[in-house]
Amino acid sequence: MRKPMIAGNWKMNKTRDEAINFTLGVANGLPLNVECVVCAPFIILRDLVKRAPKNLKIGAQNMDYHESGAFTGEISPIMLQDTGVEYVIIGHSERRSYYNETDESVNLKVKKALEFNLKPIVCVGEVLEERESGKTEEVLAKQVRLGFEGVKLDEPANLVVAYEPVWAIGTGKNATSQTAQDACKFIRGELAKIFGQSKADEIRILYGGSVKPENIKEYMANEDVDGALVGGASLKVDSFLALCNYKN
Ligand code: 13P
């Protein structure tokens, strides 16, 4: 009942021309039974929304939680809504570590995104030291509890959570399939405490961290892993198509 999702996070990559070429490259190869998304830099979102094939959804990688005002360099939910994007990544570990994002700012952003009909892809995940000291569940529970505190969720299918262990991002050291399943299952249990079991059962939970065409199938075979949030391997047409077509 949860539609699988493959979401590319392009991070700070691609010019407008490169992005447009990507949409042309994937146009005829995307499956209908998997939700395919790319989350791109702000400046090319409008072009992507205009040119993306019907079954390629577009998302942003961040947003401010204020609606407008004196916040130099920031992008508001109103502006994102105006571009026509459907998704927005919130609380990526790179934003948390390089730009001081906290569970509290994640919470404000999630609320604002939903208010403006943007579907949040909320990232959680532990750093290596936390995993090695046995604190993974404690960290995930806190990120989920604070991140979703007071969030009103009418449409659980509009919320996506991404489990991205920080030690697996861009390192080639992907989590094992079992590790991803255990964490995603744990996160679903925490979501159930906040939203109730039936809503938690509708929320999609993605795994992210060194996902490639060679390992996507193992992750997708798990009960609680509903998709992947992919960095490096989402940048090339061929590998993005291979990821989205993991069923074939
Ligand atoms: P990689 O797939 O490059 O490890 O990046 C994962 C990620 O951060 C997706 O948001």
Active site residue 164: yes
Which residues, in sequence order, are bridge partners of residue 208?
229
Cα dihedral 209, 159, 196, 66 sign: positive
Separation of CA 170 and ligand 1 centre (Å): 6
pTM summary value: 0.98
Q: Is 6 helix (H, G, I), strand (E, B) or coil?
A: strand
Identify which of 210, 234, 243 to mutate to test ligand 1's pocket (most ligand atoms within 8 A of the CB): 210
How many beta carbons lie within 10 A of that of residue 242, not counting itself? 17
Confidence of residue 172 (pLDDT cuts 50, 70, 90): confident
Confidence of residue 248 (pLDDT cuts 50, 70, 90): confident
Phi, psi of 71 (to 5 degrees): -135, 75
Separation of CA 9 and ligand 1 centre (Å): 7
What whole-number distance in Å separates Cα of residue 231 and Cα of residue 190? 26
pLDDT score of 1 more than 90? no
Q: pLDDT, tens digit, for every residue of 62-92?
A: 999 999 999 999 999 999 999 999 999 999 9
CB 230 near ligand 1, within 6 Å: yes
Q: pLDDT, tens digit, for every residue of 20-74?
A: 999 999 999 999 999 999 999 999 999 999 999 999 999 999 999 999 999 999 9
DSSP state of 234: G
What mean pLDDT value characterizes the chain? Answer: 97
CB 210 near ligand 1, within 6 Å: yes
Identify which of 229, 235, 239, 240 to mutate to test ligand 1's pocket (most ligand atoms within 8 A of the CB): 229
What is the per-residue DSSP string for 79-107? HHHHHT--EEEES-HHHHHHS---HHHHH
Active site residue 149: no
CB 62 near ligand 1, within 6 Å: no
pLDDT score of 7 more than 90? yes
**Which listed residue (92, 94, 101, 190) is catalytic?**
92
Residue 120 in contact with residue 109, Cβ under 8 Å? yes
